[in-house]
Structure 1
């Protein structure tokens, strides 16, 4: 049973939540507080797994409360439940909130979101890694640009024009998007000179993933570089995996998810690169990285860490699963080439083309059981030759 604390200064709101959440009393121990001070007092008496707070409250508002929660219990899931009129306050809470929900929120949706946040959290075996994800302010909070983009994409009437306008607000992101779309990875027939053209050609979900990774790589550069992680190399590998993964599935929706997941598949490495959770990475480990991370110093893999982080951010479940299981897609029950499988294959092909499997047990990193189950093991030589011939890992 997990402890879920709801915080709102309106007693009728708390009463309504208590009534609507009765079906899950066997799963959750429900706690309620009428202010930020009451919430912190309750947390001194009992450990809290999830805090769901209103934004506008007298005295301590939601952003201030979640900041205090992060300081006291950094592993606690932190959610803002607020009205649309609180946009300015919600933007202030970006560095400390894992997810944002709008009032009124359906009880079943609230239950599903909290349960999903907790499910992948429980998959992590290392308390130290769980704490690292929740406590590093640069990572678990959605970057401002991504949050605005996600809000627009969630609208039924989302338009390419509006998405492009959001990206154009950030000079660095505009330059990065145009740099990427004109790179050899995508090999478009003509130069792409406008953000709107780039968004149209790439598609909305891949652009969302690209914005997220670019914002994170930019924000994490000083921390990760000081820990020995080569972010430029990691970003280049992510793009290569994304562009290969997009070519593998036949289903258009799966291709879109696979490309986005390919861009994000190594995001967990950013967390594990932060000291003291990650040892010196100057010398390559004797095992493939995803195997080395299973040793007691980590207790989990960067794939699960990345999947957990994306789940906290509220990204779509297929995308979360594709990142979390990209090293072992056989753990899923898919009988076809899924997004997770496409990223797994693309990751292996990208390392093979770069020669980075040499001496690191690359053959063992291939999930042959999965490829045999979906009857694609025989396709590896063909895929390898196709992308070797393209020169950049992308064939259109």
Structure 2
């Protein structure tokens, strides 16, 4: 009987492979696995008639590097999650934009991190994507690789013993991200009466979910900046911020709960990830961009966001609500997805005056008034 999932580990270091084998036997005893020490022969060393669900590959290997191997994996096995392993953090400079890896992890890595990545196979399978959509998303290249600070932050947020000081100590490692966090915490639309220069207080104001979303968003903005013309990159980042602000303001106008208002803001911020990657694809691989637009229907940026956030170990309760955009607006006026939908559609019109006029004329009068009031405030 064939096991449900198949994981492949490629590393010329035999000792490393033995250690991973022991860990894998404990974490995924019911999976098929392959441990390959000859990277140039990875294709012929796979199990027959099996396609990997996830492939881990070391970066520095003789004859061929891990980026090149994963490029082959992307071509031959587009549905496989691709993880690049490196023993030298300086490698991130070399491979961050290789376009081959979904995730980059530093060696040695913890059992917890390995378990998180393996769990993404199950989570991706639960996403409501067709086979064609999964295959299309699997071909995405030029993906941003999240910096180590994001993994540190995720682990701290999952640690019940972690306090705001510990979290602040992590964020301060990236001064630009820390400055942006403070900027958002002091923004008028969050409704605080006084400013703060304390990162600890800013973290307390934002809450765990929004803090994590903002950190990922700011990291992705930084990682993708070299891949797009500066004007286009800045425009997408500005649109993300404006959409989040308008969505939250609309949620307040619609008398949505404080929790719903934060969810609107968080989801809008996260959705900027998909817009950046979609635009990068348009510039770098136009045929794939056309395929994404065809396969992912009305919300290609949202489905890309859902796919990537799942790969990056975001909890399902944060990721899945984004899929509700496809069924919005809902009849329930206080449904959290409605203000996000209206803000999304407004900014989707861009600079096209005719599209914007058509969209505004299609809205119920109270919604139109709320949009105009909040844009003018």
Query: Which digits, 9 at most, give the CA deviation of each residue in 1:75-126, with x for residues without a partner?
Result: 3302489xxxx9x66896794453878427999x887531213444954735
Q: Does 1:233 align with 2:235?
A: no
Cα distance, 1:127–1:156 mapped onto 2, change above 3 Å: closer
Query: Which digits, 9 at most, give the CA deviation of each residue in 1:197-232, with x for residues without a partner?
Result: 211111121011111111211221232336945234
- CA shift at 1:348, angstroms? 0.6
The equivalences for 1:160-239 within 5 A come to 160-225=164-229, 228=232, 230-239=235-244
Contact 1:11–1:34, Cα closer than 8 Å, also in 2: no
The equivalences for 1:378-389 within 5 A come to 385=369, 389=373
- Which residue number in structure 2 is paired with residue 115 of structure 1? 122
Query: Which digits, 9 at most, give the CA deviation of each residue in 1:162-183, with x for residues without a partner?
Result: 1112222222112222222223
Contact 1:304–1:325, Cα closer than 8 Å, also in 2: no
Select between 260-269 and 318-327 the one with higher mean Cα deviation: 318-327
Which of 293, 296, 313 aligns to 2:294? It is: 296
Contact 1:353–1:384, Cα closer than 8 Å, also in 2: no
- Which residue number in structure 1 is paired with residue 137 of structure 2? 130
Q: For 1:17 and 1:155, locate their aligned partners in 2 and report how far apart those are by CA, in whole Å.
A: 24
Contact 2:56–2:84, Cα closer than 8 Å, also in 1: yes
The equivalences for 1:31-46 within 5 A come to 31-35=33-37, 37=39, 39=42, 41-42=44-45
Q: Does 1:348 align with 2:342?
A: yes
Which of 356, 359, 362 aligns to 2:354? It is: 359
Contact 2:189–2:249, Cα closer than 8 Å, also in 1: no
Q: Does 1:250 align with 2:257?
A: yes
Q: For 2:210 and 2:373, locate their aligned partners in 1 and report how far apart those are by CA, in whole Å.
A: 24
Give SS of 2:8's match.
strand
Flag structure 2 segments of 5+ consecutive residues without an equivalent: none
Contact 1:245–1:258, Cα closer than 8 Å, also in 2: no
- Which residue number in structure 2 is paired with residue 152 of structure 1? 156
**TM-score normalised by structure 2 residue count:** 0.69
Contact 1:123–1:304, Cα closer than 8 Å, also in 2: no
Q: For 2:128 and 2:37, locate their aligned partners in 1 and report how far apart those are by CA, in whole Å.
A: 27
Flag structure 1 segments of 5+ consecutive residues without an equivalent: 25-29, 282-291, 367-379
Which of 234, 257, 277 aligns to 1:271? It is: 277
Contact 1:307–1:321, Cα closer than 8 Å, also in 2: yes
Contact 1:268–1:305, Cα closer than 8 Å, also in 2: yes
- Which residue number in structure 1 is paired with residue 309 of structure 2? 310
Q: For 1:246 and 1:160, locate their aligned partners in 2 and report how far apart those are by CA, in whole Å.
A: 28
- CA shift at 1:42, angstroms? 2.5
Which of 5, 8, 11 aligns to 1:5? It is: 8
Cα distance, 1:198–1:125 mapped onto 2, change above 3 Å: same
Q: For 1:104 and 1:197, locate their aligned partners in 2 and report how far apart those are by CA, in whole Å.
A: 29
**TM-score normalised by structure 1 residue count:** 0.67
- CA shift at 1:316, angstroms? 0.9
Cα distance, 1:350–1:97 mapped onto 2, change above 3 Å: closer
- CA shift at 1:264, angstroms? 0.8
- CA shift at 1:342, angstroms? 2.2
Q: For 2:276 and 2:172, locate their aligned partners in 1 and report how far apart those are by CA, in whole Å.
A: 26
Which of 103, 107, 116 aligns to 2:111? It is: 103
Q: For 1:365 and 1:305, locate their aligned partners in 2 and report how far apart those are by CA, in whole Å.
A: 27
- CA shift at 1:235, angstroms? 3.0
Aligned length: 345
